[in-house]
C-alpha cells in the first residue's frame, strides 16, 4: 500500500524525474551549463573583436581552462585536506603532556622504568644536535660520537649515549634538570 494516499505512483515517479532534471544552482547540470554558456559568449565576443584568429586562440584557451577545471574537479575527491579521521592504531598513541608526566615520574623513581624517559631524551637530543650542530646522534662514526659527547659534557653523555647503558637504573633529579638545561642551551 502506498504511504501517501493522496498521490498515486505515476505522480510520484513524475516528481522524482523532475527532481533529477533540476537545473537550479548546485545541480550538476547547472554547474555544466553556466561555464558552457559563458564560453560560447566569450567565443562570440572574440569573433566580433578579433576575427577568426581570435576565435581560434580563444578556443584553445577555453579548452585548456576546461581541461584544468575538469582535472581539478576529478581530483577533488582524493585531496586530503584534513577532514578525514585519523586511522585508529591499536598498539600506538600520540604522546601528550600527561604521557610526559608519567614518563618523568617513572624515570625518577628507583623502582620505575627509566627506559621510556631515556628514549625520549635521546630523540630530543638527536633532533637538537641535528638541527643546530648538523650532528647525527645515532651515527656509528667515532668522531661524531666524540663530538656529541663533548657538546653534552662527560657527566651527561652516559645518560644519553645510545650505544651504552645508563649509569643508574633511574635518573637522579639533578641529572634530569641538568639534561633539560643542556638541551635548552644547545
Q: Which of 12-16, 91-95, 115-119 has the highest mean pLDDT?
A: 115-119
* Short-list 158, 180, 157, 176, CA closest to 109: 176
Residue range 123-132, pLDDT digits in tens: 888 888 777 7
Predicted TM-score (pTM) of this structure: 0.46
pLDDT at 22 over 70: no
* Mean pLDDT in residue range 156-182: 83
Residue range 59-82, pLDDT digits in tens: 999 999 888 887 777 766 565 555
pLDDT at 11 over 60: no
Amino acid at each position: 500500500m502506498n504511504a501517501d494516499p493522496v498521490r498515486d505512483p505515476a505522480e510520484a515517479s513524475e516528481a522524482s524525474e523532475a527532481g533529477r532534471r533540476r537545473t537550479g544552482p548546485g545541480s550538476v547540470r547547472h554547474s555544466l551549463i553556466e561555464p558552457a554558456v559563458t564560453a560560447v559568449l566569450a567565443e562570440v565576443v572574440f569573433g566580433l573583436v578579433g576575427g577568426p584568429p581570435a576565435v581560434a586562440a580563444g578556443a584553445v584557451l577555453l579548452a585548456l581552462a576546461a581541461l584544468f577545471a575538469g582535472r581539478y574537479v576529478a581530483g577533488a575527491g582524493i585531496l586530503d585536506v584534513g577532514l578525514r579521521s585519523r586511522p585508529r592504531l591499536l598498539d600506538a598513541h600520540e604522546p601528550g603532556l600527561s604521557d610526559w608526566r608519567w614518563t618523568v615520574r617513572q624515570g625518577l623513581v628507583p623502582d620505575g622504568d627509566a627506559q621510556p624517559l631515556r628514549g625520549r631524551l635521546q630523540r630530543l637530543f638527536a633532533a637538537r644536535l641535528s638541527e643546530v650542530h648538523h650532528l647525527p646522534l645515532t651515527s656509528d662514526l667515532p668522531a661524531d660520537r666524540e663530538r656529541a659527547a663533548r657538546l653534552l659534557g662527560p657527566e651527561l653523555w652516559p645518560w644519553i649515549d645510545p650505544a651504552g647503558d645508563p649509569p643508574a637504573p633511574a635518573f637522579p633529579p639533578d641529572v634530569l634538570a641538568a639534561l633539560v638545561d643542556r638541551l635548552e642551551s644547545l
